Structure 1
Amino acid sequence: MAQPKIIVLDDDPTGSQTVHSCLLLTRWDVDTLCTGLTDSVPIFFILTNTRALPAVEAAEVTRTVCRHLKQALALTGVSDYIVVSRSDSTLRGHYPLETDVIAAELGPFDAHFLVPAFLEGGRITRNSQHVLMVEGQPVPVHETEFARDSVFGYRHSYLPEYVAEKTAGRIPAAAVERILLPDLRSAGLAQRLARLTGNVCGVVDAETQADLDQFAAAVLEVASGGKRFLFRSAASLLTALAQLPPQPIPPEAMATYCRPGRRGVVLVGSHVRKTTEQLEVLLSEPDIAPIEVPVAPLKDSATAEAQIIATVLEAVNGAVAADQTPVIFTSRQELTFADAATRLAFGQRVSEVLMAIVQQLPTDLRFLISKGGITSNDVLSKGLALPTVRLLGQILPGCSVVRTGADHPRFPNLPVVLFPGNVGDRQGLATVYHRLHCAEG
């Protein structure tokens, strides 16, 4: 059975956090998509960053990607492929908008599956209930801070009810196909998948990677016979679909990729509680220079950006001169907004400030750690202006490392850690820092 090309539309750049060696694309013109389709690695990612966009813009970006993909597929002659809409394992994102657009442009599909389990981050699904493991105990996601997200909030962690809620009843809970753990571990899964038609919605349990391996094996078997499936998933499913060998450099040895130079830089844009806890631990380390980016003035002043950028860069240069590692982080207070669109627009303004800072960081950086999914996407596409970048692997479970090209005009061969906001334990950010910092001299 031939290996199909796995095409991932990723709504932030962290969906590649369980694979390695593949290309991440920050642009989706036809030529760049052809580069992804003809790459030797069986999976590639298109970083649409749609989770940072209002619904109308997210739909337009997804539609454009799909239309350009159709052209690229025709030009390259690739006919055996699987499309994945990769999104957040805590159920935040533009569902069903993105899968609806993909189905309209690249369909028809026989089914679309929600597979939100992210095993490396302690997110599992059992009996169709999606939960977070917190200190060894399962907590339904609707009881977490993520369900109260100001843009993508929800009331249900029982996935059929989540689907009904998000589709406003267009897909009733009773119409959702439930693939449970016993189904994954039975011999009849492939036959069941083969019977699905009409883009029926399915939700998939998973507690271990073996569960996802079983599901992926059945999917690939049935797809080879002509069935077409679409996926809305977290990252762990991609490991099973891509079937890659272990990454070439182990996580503990990622300092191998560090450049000569004085210091690395840590950039923290995410403001979820887990990130704040990890930041507090990192800031307690010796030789760390905390540099806060005050974001409240950006809400009230149209001219605050230039002063903030200048002040932060002066502090960065001072820290490096004093042989300290700059940790640049957005202020932690939670601001309120009139509506979701205003909140997203403000987030984009904050990101513009952070990317202006990235563009002017010292050229002799040893490494860059970017904390937060949307922040990391903007670091790649705007701060570093990379049309494509090669994924090296993971430095922690769920935390990817990429490297700029040797021809980058300002930061050649710079290792960049893409660290999702809601991944890792309290020591996670400090652990990544130490794994890279240990090679500094």
Structure 2
Amino acid sequence: MNKQPKIIVLDDDPTGSQTVHSCLLLMQWDVDTLRDGLRDESPIFFILTNTRALNPQEAQRTTQEVCRNLKSAIALENIEEYVIVSRSDSTLRGHYPIETDTIAQELGDFDAHFLIPAFFEGGRITRHSTHYLIIDGVETPVHETEFAQDSVFGYSYSYLPDYVNEKTKGKIKPEEVQCFLLEDIRKGTQERLRKLNHNQCCAVDAEKQSDLDKFAQDLLTVAREGKKFLFRSAASILTSLAGVGKQPIEAENMGKYKPTDNTGVILVGSHVKKTTQQLNQLLQQPEIIGIEIDVVLLRDNPNSRQEIITQALEKVNQALSNSKTPAIYTSREELTFADIATRLEFGKQVSSLLMEIVKGLPQDIGFLISKGGITSNDVLSDGLSLKEARLLGQILPGCSVITTPPNHSLFPNLPVVLFPGNVGDKDGLVTAYKRLNG
């Protein structure tokens, strides 16, 4: 058996590791940190770029910087076989094609890039090159969902060749996209893969994990022969590429990772409908104390920032001293802004306020649950100031748990749940909380 190529994932929010375990998540991308990832014994590692929270220029600059440092790290570690994945959202939101174009410019000469948005744990499948969300058992074309109306990353098509045409502003025409349909994948695609060149855009079907397992085997076989492939994908293809098997401790028993017997803290930033439903279920639990952060007050009176932080932390301490679990959440109404840039900028202000609260939490808490992709990224890189963290596995399908290092200055060995906004059923937050609280 040839050596497994290293799977290097540039993740645009920190939830892309939601189908694998026991690997490193890197919050920084200087050459030395990247070398840690390349040397690590796991076949896969993640670089958390958080570009989905950035504007297009910042996303391009960040991707460029990561790729340039990666090039140096790969040379220093003498890595010959590797696969690059631009991991993004399974509902097609994110900076496409900016990120894949930038990776191709910096790391060069890819024979193809594959769009693989299937994410089975979250009910996302692709058939006949059309991407669907399964909502309450109904397959819904993704352009008919709330995600297609995203004020930053909206789109009009579920048929991937039309989506590519829209996003590339006509640079890649629908008929130029090569479609790998279910019947192709199940028969085997090695011959077709060998013929790809000039960074050909390809759309890939998948209804179940075995489809991607088969496709990944063919891809890796052809990649070992010298073909260079780039992926723009959701998380499910990573399971197939990395092949890491079952996680060490089952989801139901993740409470074993708690460093103390104390309860923990839940932080909810995401505003998608699913998160609000899950928050409402959580707040009905008798031992949960809701602490609302009024973002309207912050918008209308930026000077209120310190007072909001101080009051929230007082309420957290009071809840914990009464053996209750605080759930800190941003107010739910959708605010409107003059333009996208202003909206993103205000999002950063809200997040930085939440991170000040995280830094002020009592140091003997038993766990932290972070709800929302961007919120989770900021918790890792800013709230906890982590350079890298080890992924333990999933507490729910699509919901990762990491642990802070033993020498962390504030919260050693703390399990932290990275809970994407749009994942889980209505009881998802309650289930994750109960599993950790034991």
TM-score of the superposition, structure 2-length normalised?
Answer: 0.99
Equivalent position of 1:133 in the other structure: 134
The aligned runs of 1:159-308 (5 Å cut-off) are 159-187=160-188, 189-308=189-308
Structure 1 residue 107 displacement after superposition: 1.2
The aligned runs of 1:324-339 (5 Å cut-off) are 324-339=324-339
What do the CA deviations read for 1:393-432 (whole angstroms, capped 9, x no partner)?
Answer: 0000000000001100110000000000000000111000
Equivalent position of 1:360 in the other structure: 360
Amino acid corresponding to residue 314 of structure 2 in structure 1: E
Q: Secondary structure at the match of 2:114?
A: strand
Structure 1 residue 261 displacement after superposition: 4.2
Q: Secondary structure at the match of 1:7?
A: strand
Equivalent position of 2:150 in the other structure: 149
Q: State how many pairs are aligned.
A: 437
Q: Take 2:236 and 2:380, find their aligned partners in 1: how far apart are those partners?
A: 22
Structure 1 residue runs of 5 or longer lacking an equivalent are: none
Q: Take 2:36 and 2:235, find their aligned partners in 1: how far apart are those partners?
A: 22
Structure 1 residue 303 displacement after superposition: 1.3
- 2:32 maps to 1:58: no
Equivalent position of 1:314 in the other structure: 314
Q: Is the 8 A contact 1:131 1:140 kept in 2?
A: yes
Amino acid corresponding to residue 100 of structure 1 in structure 2: D
The aligned runs of 1:409-428 (5 Å cut-off) are 409-428=409-428
Q: Secondary structure at the match of 1:436?
A: helix
Amino acid corresponding to residue 155 of structure 1 in structure 2: S
Q: Take 2:329 and 2:138, find their aligned partners in 1: how far apart are those partners?
A: 31
Q: Secondary structure at the match of 1:120?
A: helix
Q: Which runs of 4+ in 1 moved over 3 A?
A: none
Equivalent position of 2:406 in the other structure: 406
Q: Secondary structure at the match of 1:220?
A: helix
Equivalent position of 1:32 in the other structure: 33
Equivalent position of 2:81 in the other structure: 80
What do the CA deviations read for 1:324-380 (whole angstroms, capped 9, x no partner)?
Answer: 100000000000011111111111110000000000101110000000000000000
Q: Secondary structure at the match of 1:113?
A: strand
Q: Is the 8 A contact 1:261 1:364 kept in 2?
A: no
What do the CA deviations read for 1:236-281 (whole angstroms, capped 9, x no partner)?
Answer: 0000000112111111110110121432100000010000000000
Q: Take 2:103 and 2:383, find their aligned partners in 1: how far apart are those partners?
A: 29
Q: Take 1:203 and 1:35, find their aligned partners in 2: how far apart are those partners?
A: 33
Q: Take 2:297 and 2:85, find their aligned partners in 1: how far apart are those partners?
A: 39
Q: Take 1:420 and 1:179, find their aligned partners in 2: how far apart are those partners?
A: 28
Structure 1 residue 302 displacement after superposition: 2.7
What do the CA deviations read for 1:267-320 (whole angstroms, capped 9, x no partner)?
Answer: 000010000000000110111100001111222223121111011101101111
Structure 1 residue 208 displacement after superposition: 0.2
Structure 1 residue 31 displacement after superposition: 0.4
Structure 1 residue 385 displacement after superposition: 0.4
- 2:89 maps to 1:91: no
The aligned runs of 1:380-391 (5 Å cut-off) are 380-391=380-391
Amino acid corresponding to residue 99 of structure 1 in structure 2: T
Amino acid corresponding to residue 210 of structure 2 in structure 1: A
Q: Take 1:226 and 1:357, find their aligned partners in 2: how far apart are those partners?
A: 49
Q: Secondary structure at the match of 1:303?
A: helix
Structure 1 residue 383 displacement after superposition: 0.3
Amino acid corresponding to residue 300 of structure 1 in structure 2: D
Q: Take 1:230 and 1:340, find their aligned partners in 2: how far apart are those partners?
A: 29
Q: Take 2:340 and 2:180, find their aligned partners in 1: how far apart are those partners?
A: 33
Structure 2 residue runs of 5 or longer lacking an equivalent are: none
Amino acid corresponding to residue 248 of structure 2 in structure 1: P
Q: Secondary structure at the match of 2:407?
A: coil
Amino acid corresponding to residue 355 of structure 1 in structure 2: M
Q: Take 1:219 and 1:25, find their aligned partners in 2: how far apart are those partners?
A: 26
